[in-house]
Chain A
């Protein structure tokens, strides 16, 4: 029974649409986080001095502190963006796909 449901959902073009949209969005965000994070780790490993520079002449705040604070906030904003889009747009599409599969079932 449920295998037939899965079969119908898979055949629904909306399913492909959902998957490709969500995967593209998720992987883009993941790529941003991974690039920034491992980029940062590389700078820590290979060029630590550049993180020790002050952000402005005479300021006590270093580039490293500013960059990290930015990443904490930015990564969290990215999670918020993903959650918002997934919980509205993607979930609505999912519900539609499931509903259509039920309808065909009858």
Chain B
């Protein structure tokens, strides 16, 4: 049972919930000896980001500063921040471990994570920027009933944020226990409290800069480890492959697709979920509003996808080098048995590799990067959740747009602190739970509840309030139910004998359902208001295409 929880934790971080059976890719998280190098370097990171938060706090006066850094982030900076949001600690540790264990399968996963970005650019980026202001509900509610549609969007945003937060918090506690040798609860409180400070005082300015610094550290650290490791093979890829294939237990199969994606339905559903889930994650969507115009929004995606693609390939090389440098060195195995259990568990491949090629300093640096990464992602999530509460629910639904800026910011700060405590409580409550399904659920809800309504509101004239509500709530409920009835909850958590729903990935089923409901209930809506909403599409369409009237662009 213990082992399953640990597996689940790590996989949950990865968002690859259906892999929970693909056993050995991950291992145990045991408390390690206190790692002072890592703690000192992490303290330097915290000191730096606190300085930035202090500076950011003096610049965070209006709601626009708080939610979107006043729209003053450049495309390059935002690209780094988006890449930072996307490259979590799990990417570094989990995917390196997956390549180490499964070879080519890990590389396939990386492509699945990457392929959504071009689509987001081609079909969504400029419309998002041209129509949105603070949250993506600004877009879905643009011509529809503000109160009802925003409430719906806020509920599904918060659902996504909470599931994602649980996965990140539990993962954070486990990883920090592993990397720093700190107690689980201490780690959870540290992450929760630091996140509250960043977001409450520094808003989006601080959150973005924390993310940028962390992205640079991650890119630098990963590249350095890869460079040092790869140099041992004279930078020859075929040399590396030859040696790795010779010693790996998969042998010649190392560079072929393995068993992870053998089932076509799961493969397609995962592909859909990752691709369109990304396009429905509130903390990612929010980043499109932090730049000045559509031009910068497009550049953000260009830089972000460049960094992500580069980093995935670095990780691929790290994993392959790990097979030889870590996998053949008895020092890294418990009891010194090569091929046995890695010290600290399967997820430690990247860390052991850093240790092997760069000693304790590099190990400490990479561990600090992993902690910083979790902190930055959690801050982004908290800000996205807080803005759904303050901007959508408080300012637009409760106060009907009459809230003063000062009171709106106050509400979002209170919301951040509440979310911080919720995250701490959930993190502690779920410590021993199987949370593998959490990120899967977050992506599933994002793909099924947020994405269909968002894309329809931008592309389909005929969408009405009634259709949007049915599509949004339908997608939300069905995605949650599909996951609850699937093996990862119904069998693994609730202990039933057989799953009611045979697949672990909900996207392939819940997404079409959401689209269908939105379509049927829009088409059958013949109310006067529906007619007006359809008419209003024309103006929205011109604004989406030209950016005229877009927030932030109105000044010139």
Query: Interface on A for B, CB 8 Å cutoff?
Result: 2-3, 5-6, 9-10, 15, 18-19, 22, 26-27, 29-30, 33-34, 37-38, 40-42, 44-46, 48-49, 51-52, 59-62, 64-65, 68-69, 71-73, 75-76, 78-80, 82-83, 86-87, 91, 94, 97-98, 101
Contact = CB atoms under 8 A, between A and B. Distances in A.
B58 to A, nearest CB: 33
Contacts of A19: 545
24 contacts: A3-B539, A5-B548, A6-B538, A9-B546, A9-B548, A10-B538, A10-B542, A18-B546, A27-B122, A30-B122, A38-B271, A41-B268, A44-B108, A48-B256, A60-B255, A64-B104, A65-B107, A65-B255, A75-B118, A79-B305, A82-B298, A91-B294, A91-B295, A98-B548
Given A75-B115, A86-B298, 16 more contacts: A29-B122, A30-B122, A33-B115, A33-B118, A38-B271, A41-B261, A45-B263, A45-B268, A46-B264, A48-B258, A64-B104, A64-B108, A71-B115, A72-B114, A76-B118, A79-B118
The SS class assigned to the A binding surface is helix
Interface in B238-256: 238, 241-242, 245, 252-253, 255-256
Contacts of A76: 118, 305-306, 309
Contacts of A101: 548
Interface of B: 104, 107-108, 111-112, 114-115, 117-119, 121-123, 126, 237-238, 241-242, 245, 252-253, 255-258, 261-264, 267-268, 271, 275, 294-295, 298-299, 301-302, 305-306, 309, 312-313, 538-539, 541-543, 545-549
A75 B108 contact: no
Contacts, number: 155
* Pairs A-B, 7 closest by C-beta atoms: A52-B256, A48-B257, A45-B264, A60-B241, A62-B255, A6-B542, A26-B122
Contacts of B262: 45, 48
The SS class assigned to the B binding surface is helix
B393 to A, nearest CB: 27
A82 B298 CA distance: 9
A94 to B, nearest CB: 5
Given A15-B545, A49-B256, A30 B123 contact: yes
